Structure 1
Amino acid sequence: MSWFDGRFFGSVFVTLVVIMDPVGSIPVFLALTGATSRRSRNRSADIAVLTALTVIVSFALFGQQVLQFLHISLPALQVAGGLLLLLVALELLMGWGGQPSPEEEVNVSMVPLGTPLLAGPGAIAATIVFARGVHTVGAVLALAAGILAVHLVLWVTLRFSEVILRVVRRSGVTLITRVFGLLLSAIAVQLAADGIRAFVTTR
């Protein structure tokens, strides 16, 4: 028996990278933190990735039990995540809110950046499914390594958003904010619609 399941690691890593979409999270990250200082932006990246890691690890360990105990289905989680992202999209589109305070920066880093943007319903569902398939020590190590590797990629990607900010400038960030607000609203509606459809069909 192998001490490390390389194939399972690859499956976990590729699946979570595709779902969590590190590159796709950059516009939202810049939109929510572009007006802050470099130090604050780096701090936001740290908190967002740590929040996402905490959520994913928690659901890998206890996700199925928590959902069953609270009688929450994955479709319901999808709808809730979609509604939360829709509120964020409206803020980006309308330009609500000014310069965030340090406390607000932490809150934004946790919600919506950490969750549900990074650690959203899709990533949570995939993690629960992978955790169900863990039956050996090699698979446990592969799952843990896959989760950590994905979040390392997320952290590096958000940290390098500073380079993008230098290129596009503040006006570019404002444009990205409005455009991505529209796209994020569509993503939110689709996420909620998928959750409602799944909820209805399972009844």
Structure 2
Amino acid sequence: MLEFKFIELVGAFVVLFAIIDILGAVPIIISLRNQQKVIKAEKAVSISLLIFIAFLFVGEIILNLFGVDIASFAVAGSLVIFVLAIEMIFGVEIFKHETTSSGATIVPIAFPLIAGPGAITTLLSIRAEYHTINIIAALILNLLFVYLVLRTVDRVERIVGQDGIFILRKFFGVILLAIAVKLFAKNVVIMFS
């Protein structure tokens, strides 16, 4: 049903903004660029939008086809986020990034940093609260902000400097680790209950 409500748009925007947390991902993005990984903002945002829209309408059906529930999906995604956090905190390379034409655009930028398991699970959950048109509008506004951040990340690096980036990378690595642990713990309990 198409029923636009500004208050729902704002509510969905805030929830998605908090869970996507592109500002918290800036150190990861900078780290990937420093490793000479190619990040195409337009492609990352487009792929993220496709993932979000697909999961908004048929997410549970897709997961059920593979015999996977949302909790299992979230646990698997939390492990990917955990490894990214370990890389940030300890300065090691665990993911052996194969050379592809998309560089780091699809993995890990589009998935799991932008359209990650937490964001997808949240998206599936807010369907019960908000009309679909408001969720899509909030999603598009969030992805426009993500696009701006991806396009201006070099400016952020210049303003903050190398020492600032180092500190931010370690700090957000710990935050990312905490998010991974929380996502894991919450969904492991659901899986075994």
Gaps (5+ residues) in structure 2? Answer: none
What does 1:78-93 correspond to in 2, within 5 Å? 78-93=74-89
1:119 matched residue in structure 2: 115
Question: Per the alignment, in what secondary structure is the counterpart of residue 117 of structure 1?
Answer: helix
Q: Does 1:54 align with 2:50?
A: yes
How many residue pairs get aligned? The number is: 191
For the residues of structure 2 that align with 1:2 and 1:109, how far apart are their CA atoms?
A: 33
Q: How does 1:1-203 map to 2 (within 5 A)?
A: 4-36=4-36, 40-41=38-39, 43=40, 45-97=41-93, 103=99, 106-131=102-127, 139-201=131-193
Show structure 1 runs of 4+ deviating over 4 A.
Answer: none
Give the TM-score normalised by the residue count of structure 1: 0.78
- Kindly indicate whether the alpha-carbon contact (under 8 Å) linking 1:52 and 1:119 is maintained by their aligned counterparts in 2: yes
Larger Rg: 1
| Percent identity between the two aligned chains | 26
1:104–1:30: structure 2 CA closer, same or farther, 3 Å change rule? Answer: farther
Inter-partner Cα distance in structure 1 for 2:90 and 2:138: 38
CA distance in 2, matches of 1:81, 1:177: 20
| SS across alignment from 1:143 | helix
CA distance in 2, matches of 1:78, 1:104: 26
Mark the runs of 5 or more structure 1 residues left unpaired by the alignment: none
Cα distance change on mapping 1:2 and 1:86 into 2, 3 Å:
closer
CA RMSD of aligned residues (A): 2.9
Question: Would the alpha carbon gap of residues 8 and 59 (structure 1) be closer, same or farther in structure 2, given more than 3 Å must change?
Answer: same
Kindly indicate whether the alpha-carbon contact (under 8 Å) linking 1:79 and 1:195 is maintained by their aligned counterparts in 2: yes
- Over 3 Å counting, the alpha-carbon distance change for 1:153 and 1:70 in structure 2 is same
> Tell me, what secondary structure is at the counterpart of 2:102?
helix
How far apart, CA to CA, are the structure 2 residues paired with 1:170 and 1:156? 21
Please give the TM-score of this superposition, normalised by the length of structure 2. Answer: 0.81
- 1:22 offset after TM fit, Å? 2.4
Higher helix proportion (structure 1 or 2): 1
For the Cα contact (< 8 Å) 2:74–2:121, is it kept in 1? no
Separation in structure 2 between the aligned mates of residue 2 and residue 192 of structure 1, nearest angstrom: 35
1:196, 1:55 → 2: CA distance?
24
Instruction: Note if contact 2:13-2:141 (Cα within 8 Å) is conserved in structure 1.
Output: yes
Shift of 1:189: 2.2
1:21 alignment partner AA: D
